[in-house]
Structure 1
Amino acid sequence: MTTTRTVLITGTSSGIGLAAAVAAARAGHHVVATMRDTARSGALTEAAAEAGVADRIEVARLDVTDPASVAACLDEVIARHGRLDAVVNNAGAGYVGTVEQDGLDPVRATMEVNFFGVVEVTRAALPHLRAAGGRVVTVTSVGGVIGQPFNEAYCAAKFAVEGFMESLAPVAATVGVHVTVVEPGAVASEFVASQGIDLPALLTAAGPYAPALQAYAERTRAAFDQAQTAEQAAEAIIDALTAEQPPFRVQTSDRARAFVGAKLADLDGSAVQRLTGSWVG
């Protein structure tokens, strides 16, 4: 059994998850860096070695959509370390499309990873986090606050996560567990590239929605030209892990704060509709 704080992070093969794993290890935590396919751990292993924290990061398999995998991973963590002090729910999947054209299957698949996976990991971890007075830190998105064109499934899942965590937070606090959601905006990471989006094919299949999709794609490309790095986004996660009284909601950049602030001040929804409507008009 160890007295070092043990942090489990999901989705660490690339992007924010990889950066958070390295940063958490540099902050002195022992990191259980999980991913669905541990054969993809090379980038993390290399980054950990370069940062001099390889001895504080262990790679473990965890598929957030498989309850048996979640249970097995947590059982191993407790058997090996005797404690779990924090979970960072980072694993996720994007999806670009619209429901009339694509049907319900992509919506269900996106919800399974981005919402139900988060719920399952959190549920399974809570007994151990209660014992440690620990923390749940969940990476959502500005898309969990503002619905974005052609991201219906993704934003629906992230909205659901935000609602779940906002509801859980006061309940978890009664047993000594802090809950925080971290809302990145555009992040320059492999997450975007890994979605395998074929824009010409999407436009061909978009039918009457093609002009709007083209406009959205051009706007989004410009936004990602100004994206923050995964390392910058991960700083907010580390703050949530280490702050004495972490906030419930935190954004990872000034641009993200301004974007989310527009929604939180928009009581009738008209300002957000004007904003996102301009992306596709």
Structure 2
Amino acid sequence: MFPSLDVAIHSMMIPNPMPQGGHALTLPPGAVAVIAPDQGLSGCGVEARALELDIIPTRYLRNMHSITPKAQIRLLRAKVAQVGLGGLGGTLLEQMLRLGVGTLRVADGDDFEESNLNRQALSDTSNVWRSKAEAARIAAARINPSVTMDARHEFLSQDSLPGFLTGADLAIDALGGMTHRLTLQQCAAEADIPLVTGALAGWTGYVAVVMPGQPGPAQFMGLDNGAEEKLGCPIPTVNLVATLMATEVVRLLSGEPSPLTGKMLLIDLKQLSFETVSL
């Protein structure tokens, strides 16, 4: 089916020790970087084909006993639309890049502030007052250049969200506050794609999966941002909520049902309690 691509992959594969013993045929990131432009493909497209040939991209060698080759192929060919590149969004972006989600469309119209440095993975002292979208582009090129990245410096609205979500397999709500979450949930439903959503305030947070037409947290949590502003955003809560969201993204893109479909996981790190409620 892809003779020239297959020949190129086979010519650059190398045996690599497996963590559990033995060897596997692998494709190094440098080989992917050479093959992709020559074949007119994205790096993730080359990596997906390599997995179909039972050749493991070295980047994902340590995934293979937690994420099956079939699931990894699905991730590499997936398209995700993420709104927000702040605390949750920056951490989620890094995880999506390292997981190998093939196409990432992300948007945030904000610039970094000094108060973001306590928690936002994309922020550092060199990019304060610079665009979060530009930081996302730089991070993608540094972490996983095989991923196709479309980073937009804009605040999405009810008018622009439908176009932003078009063609995506899944939407991620990484917004700060509560104001625009219901609009995103409604637009994801209209696009007929699942929405993974999460929020936090202080040491508490929630994560939910909203399938098209189902109720979601945005319908019950109101529009008041007071809790987050009053209680703050410590990084342990940010990272935990983002990680739980990323786990559900992997599950859904792999074709597995989510245990949070139609439900909301409530987290309280002060009490170290986790409770699931039906919506």
Band of TM-score, shorter chain? 0.3 to 0.5
Q: Which structure has more strand as a fraction of its residues?
A: 2
Q: Which structure has more helix as a fraction of its residues?
A: 1
TM-score by length of 1: 0.46
Q: Quick one: higher RCO (CA 8 Å, sep 6+), 1 or 2?
A: 1
